[in-house]
Structure 1
Amino acid sequence: MSDSAAIRRQLPRGRHHLTREQVVASQRERILVAMGEAMTEGGYVNTPVASVLKRAGVSRETFYELFRSKEDCFAAAFDRASQLLAERLQDSITDDVDALTRMDNILTAYFGHMIDDPASARLFLVEVYAAGPTAIKARMELQHRFVAVVATMLGAQTPEQQFACATLAAAIGAMVTGKIAADDLASLWELKDHLIALARRSGTVYGNAFAD
């Protein structure tokens, strides 16, 4: 078992070999994971801290040592989910392939992440809009980063192409959010195929990746 996997499991009772830093890291990670999982049942508004504590296996005292409030915990869980997605997308980007393969790789990573971690996907695509203006601002910043990924993927260079990529990213976000909210994860792969076909038909609307 890796070190990261070891600190994510619930700590054993009694004496153990973990340092204080590892204990805190384990508790924090379990709380962040539990926040996403708890909201799949009741949504952000109807998820009390007690539900998160039960799933995480930590005390209320431990929770408030790490987070000021449920809102603070949600913000940290959102940052965690965003970072995991960014890392997966980054790992999928390669320069030594053609545009079609690069787009397929990136979308496969994006949709694969949603399917592999639906609780996190729901957290940053659906529940974020119920968590207040600070969370929504963070969501918009994440959307801007996604636009940059789309623009790079499609070879956008002009302001018009950049704007077209922004509208495409917004459409992708809206469609994926709808599917996550409806728990219709399987159809994400069909959506991926339609998006690739759209990009191939678009000429230079979004960028020069598929220019004739």
Structure 2
Amino acid sequence: MTESVSSARQLPRGRHGLPREEVIASQRERILSAMAEAMVENGYVGTSVAAILKRAGVSRETFYEQFRSKEDCFEAAYERAVELLIANIVDAINGDARDPAGPTESDRMGRILEAYFDGLIAEPAYARLYLVEVYAVGSKAIARRAQLQEAFVDMIADVLDARTDEQRFACQTLAAAVSAMVTARIAVDDLASLKALHEPLLDLVRRSGDLYGAAMPRQSEVGA
């Protein structure tokens, strides 16, 4: 799994001789991590720039050199969270690239779900940021949230070979259902129950035949 939010590296004290680019990157990572962690305790509305600075261990000047505002910092933290999650899912989908036979569509769908849940559990602060706190930020952030969900739909539709408008819509409803169930659990800090969703959701896809895409057997063939 990728490095957790709380493990962003602190620069050594005093003179360190590190390149400026590395210093800026380290400061940025700490600020984004601090933003996510502060919102776990106080939510987006209750999180001040001062609280972010205290957690990140940077000055106000350093913060405003990189971000125009708290909302701008949130947007950057959101993109970082999405980057981590998508990378985990893509790695999971391609996990058996060395196997000449390759994974089945059912296997790949299972990996999407497993990587998604694992990513949320590994990064709970970022998970809360883009699933819960995003709705307190404003319409621009919510629109970005919708784009992320469509990216998830694209992955599902590609794996299950959704060819028709009806199959694409079914993939959208599946993604929306997963999002709603996951968001509710993240909101009440019930991370332990996320993994329990994996098998029932995968079984639902298997039993649905070609509802979601041509890759799965038709419903009339499932019983056979």
TM-score of the two chains, using structure 1 as the length reference: 0.94
Q: What is the distance in 2 between the residues matched to 1:127 and 1:8?
A: 21
The CA deviation string for residues 66-86 of structure 1, in whole angstroms up to 9 with x for no partner, is 100000000000011011111
- The residue type paired with residue 134 of structure 1 is K
Partner of 1:145: 151
Q: What is the distance in 2 between the residues matched to 1:41 and 1:65?
A: 26
**Equivalenced residues, count:** 207
Gaps spanning 5+ residues in structure 2: where?
1-6
Equivalent residues of 2:8, 2:33 under 8 A apart: no
Q: What is the distance in 2 between the residues matched to 1:17 and 1:62?
A: 18
Partner of 1:155: 161
Partner of 1:98: 104
Task: Give 1:185 shift.
Answer: 1.0
The CA deviation string for residues 150-207 of structure 1, in whole angstroms up to 9 with x for no partner, is 1122221111100110111011111110111111111111111110110111011111
Alignment of 1:39-188 (within 5 A): 39-94=39-94, 96-188=102-194
Task: Give 1:93 shift.
Answer: 1.1
Task: Give 1:103 shift.
Answer: 1.4
Task: Give 1:12 shift.
Answer: 1.8
Task: Give 1:210 shift.
Answer: 2.2
Q: Larger deviation: 33-42 or 91-100?
A: 91-100
The CA deviation string for residues 126-166 of structure 1, in whole angstroms up to 9 with x for no partner, is 00000111111111111110110111222211111001101
- The residue type paired with residue 77 of structure 2 is A
Q: What is the identity percentage for the equivalent residue pairs of Structure 1 and Structure 2?
A: 60
Q: What is the distance in 2 between the residues matched to 1:51 and 1:13?
A: 21
Partner of 1:205: 211
Equivalent residues of 2:128, 2:186 under 8 A apart: yes
Please give the root-mean-square deviation of Cα atoms over the aligned residues, in Å: 1.5
Gaps spanning 5+ residues in structure 1: where?
1-6
Q: What is the distance in 1 between the residues matched to 2:61 and 2:194?
A: 40
Q: SS of the residue aligned with 2:18?
A: coil
The CA deviation string for residues 15-71 of structure 1, in whole angstroms up to 9 with x for no partner, is 103111110100001000110011000100001111111111101111011100000
Partner of 2:3: none
Q: What is the distance in 2 between the residues matched to 1:210 and 1:177?
A: 28
Q: Larger deviation: 90-99 or 134-143?
A: 90-99
